[in-house]
Amino acid sequence: MAKAIATTTLLQHYTLKMCSSHTRGTEMDYEFKSPVSQDIEDACKLPTADARRTELRRLAQQSHELNDILNDDVMSEICISDLIKDNYPKFRGSPSALIGMLPEEVLILIAEEGKSVSGIEDDIMKAIVVPSKWGVKSSTTKHGYVLGLHKDYEGFVTKSDNTTTVEKEEEDMDTEKLDMETLLAVYDCLRSLGGHHANVIKEMNSRFPDKHIDTSLNALILNRKSMKKDPDYTLPVNVPSELDQFVIPCCKSLGLSTDFDDSGAEYPNDGLPHPDDITDEDIKAVATLGLSDANLKTADQVLTGLGANVSLSEMLEERKQFADATVSASKQLEELKQELAKAQSKSAFAKPTSVAASNAASNPAKTDSTPLQVDVVWKTASDLFPDMTSCSFDVPTFNWKTPHPDVPEIDPNYVFRGEYVANVLFCLLSNKKGYISGHTGTGKTTLIEQVCAVLKYPFKRVNFDSEITRMDLVGREVLVTDGKGGTQSKFVDGILPKAVGMPCVLCLDEIDFIRPDVAYVLQRALESKGFTVLEDGDRFIQPHEMFRIMATGNTKGQGDDTGAYQGARHQSLAFLDRFSMFMTIPYLDEKREVELITSHVSGFPKPKAQELVRFANEVREAFQNGSIYTSVSIRGLTTCAETYAHYLPYMKNEEETLNYALETSIMNRCTQQDFANISEIATRVFTGEMEFTYQ
């Protein structure tokens, strides 16, 4: 505890000085719909809010093992709920942290759960995850609900009319007892909980206007810094209960976590700004503190009275010079980084400006439509892919004079993810062979296809199954007429000889389904050393300088360990070793998937899209842990949204339309057991009455 915050001595001194006079809260009377234990009655009669909450938390934790009531499944649901993410961004996801946030009414229910109320963990989860359906509304909280109180228990505990709530107490805080030492302790607590200096000063100045925070407290902070006595705000913080009445209101205004408890439990601080988020203006603002000349004069007088060795004006001038130098150095460093990246890119990869294009296009009858030469224009990756703002290397784009039949069309609704786009681009630049794995519907093949669409890079795709043979890849002898009434044999190239000799990306789709004997045919091509067609007189094909190979699979080539991908084979280690870069593509995160649905289906309501994505994520989680054998792909999710939007005008209500869309696009392909499990998830996630019938 001694290292929880560097100003521990100051906080302890303040606690000893104030504990005798601190009276946060007033006596609170409760009325119960049904009898409760004597321990709970005694706790509710305690004279202060601090004492009540401490005792009720103890009773709640004593009544049941927290990890049994608030188990991993319950906590995972609570952590991803909109109410928690939007209103408690610093919530750590632990049962003890949740207990510290719950109001007294819910603590009473948990403490009494084994005596008169059952299933309290599900009720808490429902009230938090879907408050609009299961919660109890409140006019005293910023989110508008009593956190964790299920509507079925509304009225189980009621407060009498003479009750003073925590919110009201905070409005009536006693600021007369605040001296500069106490204010400095409040400042340190807020900084350690993640508050930015400028925001904390602004908030405290507005809340305590008679204390001249912007001058006097700033001066104390700067004087302490000059003596190298600044606290380490990256360490966990202990917030004494005596400071709650000052810290909690500021935390709520600043959007900081208030899930600390009176026992002094340590909570990590993860609220410090990332260095990339600090602007030049931030640096200069810290240097000048935003003080006017009059305020600066007042601050100098305060420091002189405290016996400081240097004036604030002198310190600010020194800091301003340092800030200016820092801004200048930061700009120079950023420019050097960009120049270095460009130099490395130029030295590592050749940059042709014009390449030959093969006459063997996809349609042999129209070979004259494919130009002999094509211009290659090099552009910055971040200009082409908005999600790659930090990638300034150049990538090739093809300038076809006429549309190339193998260049895919751009999907305007496709969501690029910078990390994976960067990996694909690196493979294209360096001629590395990339292997992309991931569950069905994560967008593995579409990622490569859409990157090629943006670059206008020809894209060829081979879908592997157990029937693909060597002849399909290499070619075969066929009989053709010789024009004189006879026949002659002619060798017809397969996909490999055609692709190797032209600028294109050959996508080996579902590569984990390939037969091992056929996989060895690909090894020579994967080595980028050319390809020999033995069946055509040992004809050697030199690979085109812009020919690339990428592969995708539901597994990583080591066999299927989920039981969901029948036919996936265990591939040879020698074959897998030909691939240089391996990446696993997950499903889209919730925010991006919601944006995808609303952009893909015009006018689709965002709240309904959020419910769909939450439903899909729960199904995927159950699929990944082996509870069910059905997942929800991005394709299935967008199809469900399209079906809902199409049939909504023709059906009775939203619930009936959503039922129909879910059944036809996702659930009707399930086994009876999976259908029952997914129905339970849908009933819990979606608002309204949901009824599903297995057919």
Maximum CA extent, the chain: 115
Q: 558: which strand partners?
A: 570
Q: What is the b/e burial string over 82-118, where b = at least 16 CB atoms within 10 angstroms of the residue's CB?
A: bbbeebbebbeebbbbbbbbbbbbbbbbbbbbeeebe
Q: Is 157 helix (H, G, I), strand (E, B) or coil?
A: strand
Q: Is 135 helix (H, G, I), strand (E, B) or coil?
A: strand
HSE-up (13 A, CA, CB side) for residue 507: 25
Instruction: List alpha helices for 102-165, DSSP H.
Output: 104-112, 120-129, 131-134
CA distance 103 to 101: 7
Q: Which of 463, 354, 459 is nearest to 404 (CA)?
A: 459
Angle of helix 634-647 relative to helix 590-600, nearest 10 degrees, comes to 40
Instruction: List alpha helices for 399-488, DSSP H.
Output: 418-430, 444-455, 470-474
Which residues, including other chains, have CB under 8 Å from residue 302's CB and lie 6 or more apart?
215, 216, 219, 220
| pLDDT at position 92 | 63
Instruction: List alpha helices for 349-384, DSSP H.
Output: 381-384
| pLDDT at position 1 | 31
CATH architecture of 356-584: 3-Layer(aba) Sandwich (3.40)
CA distance 601 to 606: 11
CA distance 592 to 586: 12
What length does the chain have? 695
CA distance 432 to 422: 13
For the chain, domain boundaries: 1-25+165-266, 26-163, 274-348, 356-584, 590-685
CA distance 506 to 518: 16
Give long-range contacts, CB 8 A cutoff, 24+ apart: 488-492: 491/533, 491/535, 491/536
Contact 36, 269 (CB under 8 A): no
Here the tokens at position 92 are 């750590």
- Mean pLDDT by runs of 10 across the 695 residues of the chain is 33 34 44 73 74 76 62 76 76 71 80 60 82 81 80 71 40 58 85 82 80 72 74 72 78 71 39 46 53 71 72 73 72 71 57 65 41 82 79 85 91 87 91 92 92 95 87 86 81 88 92 88 82 82 90 90 82 90 90 89 88 92 85 90 91 88 91 90 86 85
* Lookup result for tokens 């008169």: 116
| pLDDT at position 46 | 77
In order of 16, 51, 59, 149, the CA distances from 158 in angstroms are 35, 19, 19, 12
| pLDDT at position 163 | 40
